[in-house]
Amino acid sequence: MNRTDFLKTSALAGASLITDPVQVRAFITRQPAKKYRTALVGTGWWGGNILLNAVQAGESKIVALCDVDTRQLQKTSDALSKLTSDKPKLYRDYREMLIAEKPEIVIVATPDHWHPLIAIAAMKAGAHVYVEKPISHTINEGKAMVRTARETGKICQVGMHRRVSPHNVSGREFIQSGKVGKIGMARAFVHYAGGAGQPTPDAEAPKEIDWNMWCGPAPLRAYNPAMHPRSWRNFLDYANGTLGDWGIHWMDQILWVTERNHPKKVYTTGGRAIKKDSTDAPDHQVSTFEFDDDFTAVWEHRTFGGNMAEKTHPQQAVGVYFYGTEGTFHMGWLDGWTFYPSDPKKPVIHQDAQLDKPDDQNIALLWANFLSSIKSNKLPVCDIEIGHRSTNMALLGMLSLKLGRSVEWDGKQIPNDPEANKLLSRAYRGEWQYPV
């Protein structure tokens, strides 16, 4: 489904809403007192998805769309015109947009390597920010984002919508009630079927895209059709592979459910056993996270060899298992959650997922919480500091993989390890200044 079809379908569907676990349904249905001047930076598929929910919430006047690719920019603008009478101006440079439009809300839905600079600039310009996960490409960028939010007093919500999804909320309550017993280990995973693939030759960048600006502060490399749009997540100059993409959702679930902030030690192994395409992210990976109280979390992914035993989606197996003294609890996505008691005489307990169509996510609830937080000046359910901690889990896993050894973590730095601490940042290219 392309973006235009997606927006049309969503508008017709009305994005029906389910029971709101954080009591924010009122902010979806009430007549708003005002509309926030809202801008979107990054008009790809996912940015359009967030924009749709902002429009349907009824409390945004869309004043600007920004993207370095004018094809995506125009496509989203055309689709938006079918949903609202707003006439947003189109920009290729977010800096010009911030100065000219003075938005009150900025949605940051670019590739990962652009999240920090745009979110920081938006908050400093006076806007509240909804930024997609992972919040940053390196850990120190995330620290700067948290610091900016606190210094400016702006609300910064991170797009980890599973914190408001009904079955995730009820699943957390079930675990914390003690019915699973003492949790000693969690195992999160995403498994895709797939094969080796083949390399895609580099090419001249299409005239509609400013490729230098697309690369921005990250290394400038030749344009490759396999990277843009949507496939940049497996190019490590701009993202952090499957762990940085899918893994952060489940790392966040582990921290949220167990009420922990960070691991004390991380070790990762993995590589490219099968893939022969143009990407450079690992096609399989296992990361182990040790916590202070002997709790252990494990992440694993594989992009080859379908796992029919744990299949929960037509193309993937996904979720996190919590292993407790009373049984095993699986927190899933499309399949909701299931508890398997250790006692075979006790029944299996299951709750179906409640997800908004057509994307099977719950962005509307997260956006409503964002608006509520702006009005009340209270931290949102996925505040930037929460997003920073969850992002760090993924980034530490990738850092360990790069080093080929384990790393310790005290929540702020890697103690007594200058080599590893150098990887908490990276040099920015050209005119771009690393946030400090």
d(CA 132, CA 113): 11
> Based on the structure, what is the number of domains in the chain?
2
Write the single-letter amino acid at 215.
C
pLDDT in tens, 273-291: 999 999 999 999 999 999 9
DSSP string, 53-103: HHHHHT-EEEEEEE-SBHHHHHHHHHHHHTT-S---EEES-HHHHHHHH--
Residue 409 shares a structural domain with residue 293: yes
Tell whether the model's pLDDT for residue 16 goes beyond 50: no
Residue that terminates a domain, selected from 118, 146, 161: 161
pLDDT in tens, 239-274: 999 999 999 999 999 999 999 999 999 999 999 999
CB 298 within 8 A of CB 188: yes
Quote the mean pLDDT of the chain: 91
Confirm whether 436 is domain-assigned.
no
Greatest Cα pair distance, the chain, in angstroms, is 66
Mean pLDDT of all residues in 327-348: 96
Domain extent at residue 318: 166-355+383-423
Residue 197 shares a structural domain with residue 246: yes
Residue that terminates a domain, selected from 161, 179, 203: 161
CB 410 within 8 A of CB 264: yes
Tokens standing for residue 174: 């079930």
Residue 130 shares a structural domain with residue 277: no
* pTM for this entry: 0.91
42: left (phi over 0), alpha (psi -120 to 50) or beta: left
Residue 277 shares a structural domain with residue 318: yes
Tell whether the model's pLDDT for residue 388 goes beyond 90: yes
Residue 231 shares a structural domain with residue 189: yes
Residue 230 shares a structural domain with residue 326: yes
- CATH number for the domain harbouring residue 389: 3.30.360.10
Block residue for tokens 């909320």: 169
Q: How many CB atoms lie within 10 A of CB 32?
A: 13
**What was the pLDDT predicted at 27?**
44
Confirm whether 22 is domain-assigned.
no
d(CA 38, CA 55): 10
Tell whether the model's pLDDT for residue 198 goes beyond 90: yes
**What was the pLDDT predicted at 53?**
96
Strand partners, 90: 65
Task: Report the share of the chain in percent with pLDDT over 70.
Answer: 90
- CATH number for the domain harbouring residue 145: 3.40.50.720
CB 238 within 8 A of CB 218: yes
CB 282 within 8 A of CB 241: yes
Confirm whether 192 is domain-assigned.
yes
Residue 103 shares a structural domain with residue 204: no
Residue 99 shares a structural domain with residue 228: no
d(CA 39, CA 88): 8
Tell whether the model's pLDDT for residue 113 goes beyond 90: yes
